[in-house]
Structure 1
C-alpha cells in the first residue's frame, strides 16, 4: 500500500513534463496561452541556511554510498506547504495572494528531527510539525485553494484511503490541515541497497538542525514534486 507522501506528489503532476520544461524558457510576462493549460505548483516554505546545511550533509552521506539526492542534482531545498494543480490563468492571482500572505510576516522556527524511509524507498528528512508551521500551511491552503483546478480527479490509489477523499475533493490535496506532513525530500524510488546502510547510520545519529522559515515560494514541479522552475519567492521582512 503506498504512503501518502510518496504517492501524492507524482499523482498530482498532470500533463507531459516535456511541455512543462518547454515553458521554462518563457519570460514571466509570457501570456497564459504560451503556458501549459495546467500547472502543478508547490507553495513551499523557504528554509534558512542551517536547514539547507542539514540537507547538504545528508546528500553528501548518500553520495558517499553511491546515491544521488535531489539536492546533489541541483534542485532547491524546500518544505511543501500546499501542492496541487492550477489553471495557468490563475498564476498572477496566486502570486498576488501569496505575496499578501508573506507581507509583514516574521520568520518562524523550522527544525529537522530525523530521517524517514517510505515503503517505496523515498527518503526524507523529517520536519517538526510545529504550531507555527501548521498555521502557515493552513493559511497558505486557504489563500490558494480557491484558485486551484477544481476539475482535478482523485488518483486511483485514493480508493485505499476513503477517509482522505473529502479533503482531496475540497482542497485538491489530502496533505492539508490535520494531514499536513512536512518533510524535505532527498530521494525518490531509490533502488540502491545502500539506502539501508544510510538508514542504519541515521538511526544511530539522527540528522537534526534548528533553523527557520524565511519566506514562501511558488515553484513549478516535476513528477517527483521537485522544483524545476522557481516562479516567485517572497521573503519575510519582519524580524524578531
Structure 2
C-alpha cells in the first residue's frame, strides 16, 4: 500500500517537483517504540536487553488507519490505537531508558512544550507514554519556504484523498520482531544493528 501511494504521487509529479525521496527507498519500514540518544558503549547492553524483551512478547496484530500529511511536508500512515503496542512501547522504555545519554538535547519541535520537556528529562524522549503515537513515516519534504509548504500541503491533502478513494488504507498486519538500529535526525534507520523475532 505504501509503495502504491509512492507510485501514485510520483506519477502526479510531486516527488520530482519537490525533490522528495520516499523513506521506503532507503530505510526499513518500522514503528518506533522508543527513540533516544545513546553512547556506542551502551549498544551491547541494549542488544542483550532487547533480546530478552523479545522473548517475553508474542506477535501483535495491528491495523493501519490513514495517511496524514502535515503542513511541514511530512506524511505518515497512522496505526489504530492498540493497547498491546502501547504496552510494548512502555516496556521498551522502562528497560532501556537508563542506558540513554543524560546530556542529550531535546528536539527543537518539543522544546517549548512543558510536558514533553518533562518526559525528555526523565526518559530521553518527548514521544513516549501518553505521547506515544505509533505510525509509519512515509517521507518528509526538505528546505521548503512557507509558500511551498502551504502549496505542497494542499496538493498532498487532495492527492491522498483521491488515492484513498480507490485504495484500502485500513490493513491488518502482524508485528513479529523488534529491531534495534541507528537513526538519523528524522528518526529513520540508517543502520540495523539487530532484529529479534517475537516468541510465537
Whole-Å separation in 2 of the counterparts to 1:226 and 1:155: 15
Give the structure 1 partner of residue 182 of structure 2: 220
Residue number among 165, 173, 193 corresponding to 1:211 in the alignment: 173
TM-score (normalised: structure 1): 0.71
Q: Structure 2 unaligned runs (5+)? A: 16-20
Residue number among 176, 189, 198 corresponding to 2:159 in the alignment: 198
* SS state at 1:126 partner: strand
Cα RMSD over matched residues? Answer: 1.9
Number of aligned residue pairs: give it.
Answer: 184
Whole-Å separation in 1 of the counterparts to 2:188 and 2:29: 9
Matched-pair contact (CA < 8 Å) for 1:63–1:69:
no
Matched-pair contact (CA < 8 Å) for 1:58–1:207:
no
Whole-Å separation in 2 of the counterparts to 1:101 and 1:184: 22
Give the structure 2 partner of residue 119 of structure 1: 71
For residue 104 of structure 1, report the CA deviation from its aligned partner: 4.4
Bigger strand fraction: 1
Give the structure 1 partner of residue 5 of structure 2: 58
Whole-Å separation in 2 of the counterparts to 1:180 and 1:105: 19
Give the structure 2 partner of residue 131 of structure 1: 83
Q: Structure 1 unaligned runs (5+)? A: 1-53
For residue 84 of structure 1, report the CA deviation from its aligned partner: 1.0
Whole-Å separation in 1 of the counterparts to 2:71 and 2:124: 24
The 10-residue stretch of structure 1 (220-229 or 137-146) with the greater mean CA deviation from structure 2 = 220-229
* SS state at 1:208 partner: coil
Deviations 1:146-179 (A, max 9, x none): 1010111223443421222111100111110111
Matched-pair contact (CA < 8 Å) for 2:110–2:126:
no
TM-score (normalised: structure 2): 0.84
The 10-residue stretch of structure 1 (90-99 or 207-216) with the greater mean CA deviation from structure 2 = 207-216
Whole-Å separation in 1 of the counterparts to 2:161 and 2:3: 19
Give the structure 2 partner of residue 69 of structure 1: 22
